[in-house]
Amino acid sequence: MLDSVKFIFFVLILISFSAGAQEIKVNGQFQTDSIKIGEVFPYSLSATYPKDKILVFPDSTYSFHPFEIDHKKYFTTKTTEGFSYDSVVYFLTSFEIDTIQRISLPVFVVNRTDCTAVFAKMDSVFLQQMVKEVPDSVSVEQLPLKTNTAYQTVSWLLNYPLLLIIGGVIIVLGIIIWIVFGKRIRQYFILRKLSKSYNKFKQDFENAVHELENSYSTRQAETTLAMWKGYMEQLLSSPYTKYTTKEIFQMVKNEKLRAALKQIDHTIYSGRKPLESTPMNDLKEYTEQKFHDKVQEVKNG
């Protein structure tokens, strides 16, 4: 009797798992039958899923082996009759020489504690061979020769001693200038690069936050957070893009930043309400402070 109960319970679990998996349909396919080495070509990935679930598509940090990602294009989510539809077109390129190349990309279902990957069916594409056969060697007798008896103008003779003297003077002057002003020159270009990078990030980040305020979406919130992590990684030379929020808490002892990241994560993964602009502005304020600290570090270095 006990064995029968265990068997029925096991069957019910299998049925429940199968029903849950069937709720999410993932399709991935190349939009061309053949490719050439180094040529960019499209691969489309789409998913149909219950609107109450949160799905994340692979980004540029995902391994697309044997292909490399050039760029991608997102399409607006469509929801009807309780189901949502998302699609992305990845523009890939390949430098492999295999005749047939395959790939299967997943989408990630965000759960309370982790993410579950649901893969599309494997799709393949054919590589066009541009060179049919490469000979090992060509004999001298078989080399194609072309005769040209037209007059060829002879270039003027270069005064090598004078060139060496001028080159030596330039090198000595360059060394003297570098010894005297080298530190200031390095600081100037480093500060210029820092300022240019920060101004670009600030403009892009403010535009992203403004877009969130006007039309909130989970994907846009994730993109904005990833933009902040990417800039912080560039500014402080720390792998922010690979850190989880908990790991950032352990590395950075800043309660205001901690509260902002916690609120952003809660909003993204709950998906129940739009994200307020306050935590995003706290991220911007923290970044501005770190930028000024970096500037002072370079000036005093």
Query: Which string of DSSP letters, residue by residue, matches 43-97?
Result: EEEEEEEETTS-EE---TTS--TTEEEEEEEE---EEETTEEEEEEEEEEEE---
So what's the architecture of 23-127 in CATH? Sandwich (2.60)
Model confidence at 259: pLDDT above 50? yes
pLDDT-derived band at 23, boundaries 50, 70, 90: confident
Q: Given this model, what pLDDT does residue 139 score?
A: 60
Residue type, 11: V
Model confidence at 137: pLDDT above 60? no
Q: Where in the chain is the domain with CATH 2.60.40?
A: 23-127
Please indicate whether residue 217 or residue 165 has the higher confidence score (pLDDT).
Answer: 165
Gap between the Cα atoms of 113 and 109, Å rounded: 11
Model confidence at 122: pLDDT above 90? yes
Q: Given this model, what pLDDT does residue 115 score?
A: 85
Model confidence at 58: pLDDT above 50? yes
Out of 137-146, 225-234, 238-247, pick the least confident: 137-146
Model confidence at 11: pLDDT above 50? no
Average pLDDT over residues 238-248: 85
